[in-house]
């Protein structure tokens, strides 16, 4: 991996709200970073990790909140900036 990737794992009823292309556009200058947005009913957490291939960041989005909102991009952007810190 030498580029930025943005993925999602989501319940079908909220999957279309998670705009991975928007986040990729904002942070495409970063290399070796994979961000996975998770929005499922079970709310389980998955730890971040780093290895020789890069940094893997898992961001949990609150299912009930996402379900009732129309535009969750501001939340997604804020969470990414928070997790990336100074490299954002």
Per-residue model confidence as pLDDT tens digits over 32-56: 999 999 999 987 888 999 999 899 9
Alpha carbon distance, N-terminus to C-terminus of the chain: 19
Share of the chain above pLDDT 70, in %: 94
Identify the bridge partners of residue 6 per DSSP, sorted by sequence position: 35
Number of domains, the chain: 1
Question: Which DSSP state fits 13?
Answer: T
Distance in angstroms (rounded) separating the CA atoms of residues 68 and 63? 9
pTM of the model: 0.90
């Amino acid at each position: 991996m030498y580029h930025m990737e943005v993925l999602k794992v989501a319940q079908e009823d909220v999957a279309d709200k998670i705009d991975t292309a928007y986040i990729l556009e904002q942070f495409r200058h970063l290399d070796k970073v994979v961000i996975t947005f998770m929005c499922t009913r079970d709310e389980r957490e998955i730890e971040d990790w780093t290895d020789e291939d890069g940094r893997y960041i898992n961001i949990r989005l609150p299912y009930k909140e996402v379900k009732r909102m129309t535009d969750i991009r501001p939340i997604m952007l804020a969470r990414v900036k928070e997790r990336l810190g100074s490299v954002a």
